[in-house]
Amino acid sequence: MSNILARHNVRVSGEGTQPMLFAHGFGCDQQMWRRITPAFEKDFKVIVFDYVGSGKSDLSAYNPEKYSHLQGYADDLLDICRAMGLHDVIFVGHSVSSMVGVLAANKAPGLFSRLILIGPSARYINDDGYIGGFARKDIEDLLETMDKNYIGWANFLGPAIMKNADRPELGQELTESFCSTDPIIARQFAEVTFFSDNRGDLEKVRVPSLILQCSDDLIAPLAVGEYLHEHIPQSTLQVMTATGHCPHVSAPDETIDLIQQYFVNSPVIA
């Protein structure tokens, strides 16, 4: 058990018993959630973690064969749930993690009580009438951009002094590594993410879900959110005022409000 928790740098906080499991997206690590999680610590058991290859995960656990498919990440998610003996999990996933959560919930629907999907997409590349938002060439360019930022990657590797204006009680400055991600792993993660096609998994979802859709998100445009809502049974679509792809960073208050509202409309605590 401790192996799995260390492998994913799992951190637990909060006073509640029902677990809320936050899964970061492509490009960062569990720190993406630091403006969101405090709001839920009173009522829930808040769990954050890093995928293998991100943050302070165990890089030696990276296995290119395993992680050449999103199912590899989903199986890790289930490992964490089982190692911690979690059930009735409220899963909160950003970006590609939404589909990781969907795959995990489809494999073990009994473990999850709600899925909260922030900026999800089941397929990024346009395909025969389906609008994903990107052409294959765009994604190839992105991989090239990532290659070129290999040199600037130091930015993404810690340690660095981080301003923590939103939580002054922690002191003015907090020494933390920022979203450290191995560049080679990040590149494979990008490939797996942007070339994935999970449209076939949507109809199999048996867990009620909330889709948080930003109003101007290049990576997951409105059409994609509507497609997901149409194909995932028992899903609620909420279009946000926030723009961009990271509302949990840029508009934490709205993100928290909408999740809490969803809990009121669709009660999760037994």
Partner 1 sequence: MKRPLQPADLDDAPCGFIIISDDGRIDAINNTLTQILGYDKKEDLVGQTVGAIFTIASRIFYQTHFYPLVNLHGKAHEIFLTLKKKNGDHYPAICNAVRKEENNIAVTHCILLSAEQRGKYEKEIIEARRKAEQAIKENSELVQAKKDLEDSSLTLDGRLNRLAQINDNMVQFGHFISHEIQEPIRKIAVRSDNLIQKNKDQLPPYTLDALRRINAESTQLRAFAVNLERYISLNLDKEKSTGIDLDAVIRQARHNAESPDNPGALILETTPLPSIDGYAFQMETLFTCLFQALLDHRPDSQPLLLTIEGQLEQTNSFRYLPGKYHYVSTLRIIINDRGALAIRARELTELINSKTDITTIARHIGIASCKAIINNHSGSFTASTNPTGATSFVLQFPLRQHPGTL
**Which residues make up the interface to partner 1 (CB under 8 A)?**
25-28, 31-32, 34, 63, 65-66, 68-69, 71-72, 75, 95, 103, 106-107, 134-135, 138-139, 141-142, 144-152, 154-156, 160, 162-163, 178-179, 184, 200-201, 204, 216-219, 242-246, 249-250
Would the CA dihedral through 155, 73, 226, 236 be positive or negative? negative
**Choosing from 24, 94, 229, 245, which is the catalytic residue?**
245
| Active site (annotated) includes residue 95 | yes
- Smallest distance from the beta carbon of 47 to partner 1, in angstroms? 20
Which residue out of 95, 180, 196, 209 is catalytically annotated?
A: 95
Active site residue 217: yes
Q: State which residue, 26 or 263, has the beta carbon closest to partner 1.
A: 26
Q: Which CB sits closer to partner 1, 75 or 226?
A: 75
- Is residue 180 part of the annotated active site? The answer reads no
Bin 30: left if φ > 0, else alpha if -120 < ψ < 50, else beta: alpha
**Catalytic residue chosen out of the listed positions 50, 217, 229, 235:** 217
Query: Which residues on neighbouring strands pair with residue 237, listed in sequence order?
Result: 211
The nearer residue to partner 1, 196 or 263, going by C-beta atoms, is 196
Give CA torsion, residues 44, 89, 243, 196, to 10 deg.
160
The continuous run of DSSP H or E covering 160 comes out as strand 160-163
Q: Minimum CB separation from partner 1 for residue 92, in Å? A: 16
For helices 96-107 and 70-83, angle between their N-to-C axes, nearest 10 degrees: 60
Minimum separation from the CB atom of position 225 to partner 1 (A): 15
> CA-CA distance, 35 to 91, in Å (whole number)?
17
Distances (CA, A) of 8 to 17, 37, 53, 59, 60: 21, 18, 9, 10, 11
Residues with a catalytic annotation lie at: 95, 217, 245
